[in-house]
Structure 1
Amino acid sequence: MNEQQTLEQLKALKLLGMANAMAVQLESPNIQSLPFNDRLALLVEAECHERDNRRQQRLMTQAKLKIRTACLEDIDFRTRRGLDKPQLMSLGQCQWIGRHQHLLITGPTGVGKTWLACAFGMHAIRRGQSVAYHRVSRLLEETEIARADGSLSSLRSKLAKCQLLILDDWGMSPLTDIGRQDLLEFIDDRTGSGAILIASQLPVAKWYEYINEPTLADAILDRIVHRAHKIEMHGESMRKKRGLSDGED
């Protein structure tokens, strides 16, 4: 079998990383002079790298993050927004996600809550963890549509399976009776099995009032608050200071 046939078979087997690496090896006399085991190791390493990249791209597509350029390493700690560097670096290890804990980010409009939430989402994706981003109002609209077309169980299953569920703009719109119940169901489905990140303009102390139904408020907050890390942001709007777009709340 000649080298071209080998390349074609690698592609047919969907070993694209190995195929591309082999093509490079064939053009490099220095690599061709290496022992067979070393060359094989390079091919396997290239295939692993290719699969990691494809998985990461798939996770990014599935996550639907609002800001895909957000990155924890880009945080400017010189700006006084209540951000504690040791806390953020610790949370950036994403161990809280593996432990099915939660993260609550609160603060006034424009301080960067959505950006920070997406940065944590991107960090989780880079570590191979599945993420789903939703604005609460849009999610509840999707839930109503799913209920009408019979796909609600599929939506609930999808949200329950991701390792990190990001709920943005929590508290921005009033909840209906069915909306409160839906939120409880989504959160309960993840209790002990998945992490939740909530970003909200409302301080946690006002969430009970936002839910506006004592029994459901107790049930929802009991499942979230007691297993949560908290980041309380403050300061002047970053949009006002830097002219950022609305997407960087």
Structure 2
Amino acid sequence: MRDLNLAEVITALEMQQRETNCVALSFDERFQRVVDYLYQEKYNARIQRLIQLSKFRLPKAEKNDNYYDGRGLIRNAIQELATNQFMHSRTNVISQGFTGSGKTFLACALGKQACKQQVRTRYVRLPDLLRNMTKQRLQEKPICGC
């Protein structure tokens, strides 16, 4: 199982052996538990990998941890953004505000929510984005032989 990268199956079987109530379960029920455990472990690992690849400035940001009062944030609007429906309708989200108003936290929380929905994301600050775009344009070669 380890050679097949299925160490989670071994863990699930060991957990079943320790549980006394699993002895009374049928093979199908025990197998279903193993499959469920394997799926959840693989899903969690994928989400963690997506979060790491996103390079969030605040990787522990969660949409539910956002402080709404006194910041002018509308709770319903934030919760709607967290559904990521704006991505399906190809709508952009632009946040602006004073220093310390929570723009970075909000961006990281929304990005992390997208990762949980298995969407690849990348946290990039505007100055870094502009620098990379300029660098890319300078490296491009003209198409014609002028």
**TM-score bracket, shorter-length normalisation:** 0.7 to 0.9
Alignment correspondent of 1:63: 54
1:204-223 superposed matches below 5 A: none
* CA shift digits 1:41-66 (9 cap, x unpaired): 00000110011011101101110010
In the alignment, structure 2 segments of 5+ residues that lack a partner are 141-146
Contact 1:63 1:131 in 2 (8 A): yes
Shift of 1:105: 0.9
Alignment correspondent of 1:107: 97
As a proportion of its length, which structure holds more strand? 1
Count of matched residue pairs: 140
Instruction: Give the Cα separation in 1 of the matches to 2:102 and 2:83.
Output: 20
Decide which moves more: 33-42 or 81-90. 81-90
Query: Normalised by the size of structure 2, how large is the TM-score?
Result: 0.85
Give the fraction of aligned pairs with identical amino acids, expressed as a percent. Answer: 29
Instruction: Give the Cα separation in 1 of the matches to 2:87 and 2:13.
Output: 38
Shift of 1:113: 0.8
Instruction: Give the Cα separation in 1 of the matches to 2:136 and 2:22.
Output: 55
Give secondary structure in 1 for the equivalent of 2:47.
Answer: helix
Shift of 1:18: 1.7
Residue 126, structure 1, aligned to residue 126, structure 2? no
Instruction: Give the Cα separation in 2 of the matches to 1:11 and 1:32.
Output: 25
Alignment correspondent of 2:34: 43
Alignment correspondent of 2:128: 138
1:25-36 superposed matches below 5 A: 25-36=16-27
Alignment correspondent of 2:81: 91
Give secondary structure in 1 for the equivalent of 2:8.
Answer: helix
Decide which moves more: 117-126 or 34-43. 117-126
In the alignment, structure 1 segments of 5+ residues that lack a partner are 1-9, 153-249
Give secondary structure in 2 for the equivalent of 1:17.
Answer: helix
- The code of the aligned residue for 1:67 comes to L
Say if 1:20 and 1:145 are closer, same or farther in 2 by CA, change over 3 A: farther
Instruction: Give the Cα separation in 1 of the matches to 2:95 and 2:122.
Output: 17
Instruction: Give the Cα separation in 1 of the matches to 2:128 and 2:67.
Output: 30
Say if 1:60 and 1:83 are closer, same or farther in 2 by CA, change over 3 A: same
Instruction: Give the Cα separation in 1 of the matches to 2:112 and 2:26.
Output: 39
Give secondary structure in 1 for the equivalent of 2:93.
Answer: strand
C-alpha RMSD of matched pairs (Å): 1.9
Residue of structure 2 aligned with 1:53, choices 26, 44, 54 = 44
**Regions of 4+ moved over 6 Å:** none
